[in-house]
Every structure is written in C-alpha cells, then in structure tokens.
Amino acid sequence: MRVVVAGPGAVGSLFGALLAEGGLDVVLLDRDAGRAARRAGSDLILRDAKGERRLRLAVTADGASLGPAALGIVCVKAHQTENLLRLHGQALRGIPWVWTVQNGLGPLEVLRRALGSEQVLGGATFQGAYFDAQGALVHAAQGMSFMGPPEGGAPDPTPELAAALTRAGLPAQAAPDVRRVIMEKFIVNVGINALAAILGGENGRLLDNPPALAIMRQAVAEAVRFVREQGLAFDEEHEIERVLSVVRSTAQNRNSLLSDLVAGRRTEIDYLNGALSGRADAPVNRLLTELVHALEHRGRTG
C-alpha cells in the first residue's frame, strides 16, 4: 500500500516514519525541491519512548513521479493549503482518497472545493511531534487519529483505511461524525497552542501557571459558545476538562505554533484563535491572536 504524505514537517514526518516502519510504501511530498533532495539523501532521526533510531524516507518535490498510491495524507499548515494545490493538485487528484489532518477552520473546505467532496476525507490527529534543536524528530505525544467519510454519496473507505494504518503503527479510527471530531480538535488548539507559544515552552507549562489556566478557560468557553452556534452540543466544563487532559498528555510537546514562532515562520493563528474571533464575539481569542501576530512581527524584524 503506497501512501503519499504531503508536508514533511513534524507531523507529516512522524506519520511517514511510523507507516514506513510498519511496512507501507511511503513517500513524503515537499514543495521545495532543494529541501526534498537534502531530506532524501539523509536519515531521519526519530526519538520516542523506544529510544532513538534512524530511518531513510523517500522524499520528492516532483508530484508527477509519485506513481499510483492508495492514500494521500495532507499535513501542510492551514495557510499552505492553496499553495499545495497549485504545486501538487494534479498529483493529489490522481489519488483515490485524500485525508486531511490539518489544524483549524477552512483547509477541509479548500481541499473539497479543489479536489471534490467525494475524494477528500476530513479528520484530525492527536499525535504530537516536533523537531528539536539538533534536527531530530521527537515523538512527544501518542494520540489517536480520526478519519471521516467522504461526501457526495461516495463509498466510505474509512474503516478499511483506518484499520490498515493502525496495523502499520499509526493508530486510526473511522469517525462517522467527523465534523464533531474536527471541532473537538479545534477547541483543543484554541485552548493550548497560542498560550503555550506565548509562554515560550512545552504545553505542560500551562499546568503550573494559574493566570494562564484562567485565560485558557476563557478562550475555551468562547470556542464552545461558537461551536454551539454551529448546531453542535458541547458542554463548557467538559471541554475545559478535556483540554486540560490533553495538556497533561502532551506536556512534553512543543506545539507547532511555538515551533513556527521560534523559526520565524508564519503561524496558523489566523485559522485557530483568529478564525474564532473573526466569526464570533470572542475578545480573549482576539487578544491572543493579536499577541501572536506581535510575536510574528518581532520574529520578522528581529
């Protein structure tokens, strides 16, 4: 079974490493030919609970060279979705199923408009990974990944695909109500990512910081109110406790928003807290968005 992983960042590289170790034929699809060549010619160092090991993964920036594949997994940042489609849309159209595990509001709809709602599978992942200062990939949090059915009356491949991924070492579940799963992940991201990034450390730093926890509760409360307005039943206290549980289980993880800030890259804030404050009355999330924008500006200007 060949799997194409679009986006060789931390999560994409983790997915690729786990599936390749499990015996699947994996190719990482990059947008940068030079980086792809460097990655293809060197080992990926993976650190997890089993220790440290080296893997050589196939990496390419040439979508035309991919050949037949059973599944595409989209792991690029939310704001990179349209660029991915410009560069590799034709290659993705040749794959029967394209599964997105991207964060935030918007990427799923962009992919479905471009590729077709009967081909694109919504989803979310609760795996956590980051590249450390030495360039090693740290698998910092184990979690489930969820895969929703296609729209438009297409046959549902998700039970079989999820089972194949799980057998290969990437725990996955079919999620008939994938809209709810995506919103659950959205609430987690809203509650954790910006705050931990502003504090400048691992997610676990929130746990011993009462003022930060108070802000987190307010941010989550605003997200829950927004989700309820979309017709989904969510309980505020339950969601706050669920977010706290994710903080504990990912305490050693440096989330992707922090990694982007440290590297001077654009973050996904406009698809997370910013997406919320742009769609609803959410003053706490608006302020968090503005603070992250200020940190982005500082990173660009030095």
Q: What are phi and psi of 22, to 5 degrees?
A: -80, 5
Question: What is the 3-state secondary structure of 15-79?
Answer: HHHHHHHCCCEEEEECCCHHHHHHHHCCCEEEEECCEEEEECCEEECCHHHCCCCCEEEECCCHH
CB-CB contact of 45 with 54 (8 Å): yes
The whole-angstrom separation of Cα 255 and Cα 279 is 24
Residues forming a β-bridge with 60: 29
Question: Which candidate in 112, 185, 217, 254 is catalytic?
Answer: 185
At 278, list the tokens.
């742009």
Q: What's the burial of 49, exposed, middle or buried (CB within 10 Å: 0-12/13-18/19+)?
A: exposed
Question: Is 77 part of the annotated catalytic residue set?
Answer: no
The whole-angstrom separation of Cα 169 and Cα 24 is 10
Instruction: List, edge to edge, every strand of the sheet that includes 71-74.
Output: 58-60, 25-29, 2-6, 71-74, 98-100, 120-121
Catalytic residue ranges: 185
